[in-house]
Amino acid sequence: MADRNGGTSVLDPQELAKRHPAEVAEILHELPEAEAVELLRELYKVHAAADSLEEMDPDEAAELLEGLPQREATAILSRMEPDDAVDVLEELPRDAVEEILGHLEALDREKAEVLRRLLRYPPDSAGGLMSPEYVALPADITVQEAIERLRRVAEEAETIYYVYVVDEGGRLLGVLSLRDLVFARPDTRIREIMRPEVVSLSPEMPADEVAQAFDKYGYLAFPVVDGEGRLLGIVTMDDILDTVILRDTEDMYKMANVPREERVDTPWPESLRLRLPWLYINLATAFLAASVVGAFEGVIAKISALAIFMPVVAGQGGNAGMQTVTIVTRGIALGEVPPGRGLGILAKEVLLGLLNGLAVGIVVGAVAYAWKHNPYLGLVAFLAMMGNMVIAGLVGASIPLGLRALGLDPALASSVILTTFTDTLGFFLLLGLGYLFRGVL
């Protein structure tokens, strides 16, 4: 981390260019935006801007680039790794992207085309994550020749630890590790030492499943191939680490109703603007629950003891439901819920709701009875508590499973949807039963 008191000497672009780009990225992140843009222009002059931007969050990198003259922004993007450049382009407005690609066409036609091709895939797919800078070799060259070729491309390739063997049509035939090459006899044909069984990904594969493949196999990279088996690019493990961390952040955020763009160091006016809409959504659902209470106002006025059990029934239902939501959502994210197993999970969660509801409901009922010495109050509290736990299990499992079945994100606003049900139906059960038993309470 830079010593901020060190002044200009620390932020000397010549000095910074010698440091690890990740450290420069951290400094850019810490600086106020105007100063960061200024520093980026200085870094550009010493050819250190592209490397540093690759290490930043794409949305932050995009913000900085927007502060630069188009010509410089284009030049910096053209020097970035294509997969990182595409991530940044995806954060820019559509017309800015077109303008930059237009400029880039004049500067480096091939690069512009590569970026256009990568931009066609959604960012959270194997195609969106892949880099076109892999090493592909024909099958009939020797190990010696392969090492020679590697030497020439080593600078540009994303990784040379895996080398892909392709036919004339660009179709993937096999894979070799650098380790295989180094330890093979120099005059061996690489066809003989390549491994023909390659685990490959389709460009449409969602990022989640890509992460699962890395987690399962522990490989450093996977090839991405199209329907005809042609090699399109590679996804490397370091991209996946970023992807997993971002996915998990977003899942946590979605579950807890937090705006996707916010981070702990977001300035407060921005945080205010981002959070308030979500709070208003929650407010609308809270009024729904309140309207149920309002409908039973007469019962509460007569049997005020019911109000005491409102937070217990609703709170406990919300808590049990969030257990279910969390376990099922995380299971889906980690690929542990194959399609077709949804019904089994739903049944299990409803059963758990019933059994946990019995266990918890007995305590709640006993407390209600002991407190007012009224067995009917105990019965009402018990039934409402147990009922709401069943609802919690049913709704808690249905939200992520249902969202997935609809092709939506399983984590989407799940806590708000859940508590709308557990509050509204919990109050309805408690106060409705109270109304039915009003003669004896």
Instruction: Please report, as residue ranges, which positions from 331 to 390 form the binding site for a second copy (by CB under 8 A).
Output: 331-332, 334, 336-337, 345, 348, 351-352, 355-356, 359-360, 363-364, 367, 371
Q: Count of residues binding a second copy (CB under 8 A)?
A: 106
Q: Which pair of tokens denotes residue 147?
A: 């090492």
**Under rule CB under 8 A, residue 433 binds a second copy:** no
Question: Angle at CA 32, nearest 5°, toward 29 and 33?
Answer: 80
Cβ-based nearer residue to a second copy, 70 or 285: 285
Contact 92, 66 (CB under 8 A): yes
Distance of CA 280 to the CA centre of its chain: 24
Among 7, 69, 218, 340, contact with a second copy (rule: CB under 8 A): 218
221: left (phi over 0), alpha (psi -120 to 50) or beta: beta
Cβ-based nearer residue to a second copy, 173 or 431: 431
The residue behind tokens 């990279």 is 221
Cβ-based nearer residue to a second copy, 278 or 369: 278
- The nearest distance, CB 151 to a second copy, in angstroms, is 5
Cβ-based nearer residue to a second copy, 106 or 264: 264
Listing DSSP states for 112-150 in one string gives HHHHHHHHTS-TTBHHHH-BS---EEETTSBHHHHHHHH
Cβ-based nearer residue to a second copy, 32 or 169: 32
Instruction: Please report, as residue ranges, which positions from 72 to 131 form the binding site for a second copy (by CB under 8 A).
Output: none
Among 2, 68, 300, 362, contact with a second copy (rule: CB under 8 A): 300
Among 10, 107, 276, 436, contact with a second copy (rule: CB under 8 A): 276
Stretch of 37-45, 108-116, 132-140, 242-250 contacting a second copy, by CB under 8 A: 242-250
Listing DSSP states for 397-412 in one string gives HHHHHHHHHTTS-TTT
Instruction: Quote the CA–CA distance of 290 and 427 in Å, as a whole number.
Output: 9
Stretch of 9-17, 72-80, 200-208, 322-330 contacting a second copy, by CB under 8 A: 322-330
Cβ-based nearer residue to a second copy, 245 or 343: 245
The residue behind tokens 């038993």 is 437
- The nearest distance, CB 173 to a second copy, in angstroms, is 19
Among 24, 75, 423, 437, contact with a second copy (rule: CB under 8 A): 423
Cβ-based nearer residue to a second copy, 177 or 202: 177
Task: Report the interhelical angle of 305-333 vs 237-255 (nearest 10°).
Answer: 160
For 206, which DSSP code? Answer: B
Instruction: Please report, as residue ranges, which positions from 143 to 202 form the binding site for a second copy (by CB under 8 A).
Output: 147, 150-151, 154, 160-161, 178-179, 181-183, 199
Q: Which of 411, 381, 407 is nearest to 396 (CA)?
A: 411
CA distances from residue 373 to 311, 330, 378 in whole angstroms, order as listed: 20, 44, 9
- The nearest distance, CB 236 to a second copy, in angstroms, is 9
Cβ-based nearer residue to a second copy, 89 or 163: 163
Instruction: Please report, as residue ranges, which positions from 2 to 61 form the binding site for a second copy (by CB under 8 A).
Output: 20, 22, 26, 55
Among 46, 286, 362, 379, contact with a second copy (rule: CB under 8 A): 286
**Under rule CB under 8 A, residue 136 binds a second copy:** no
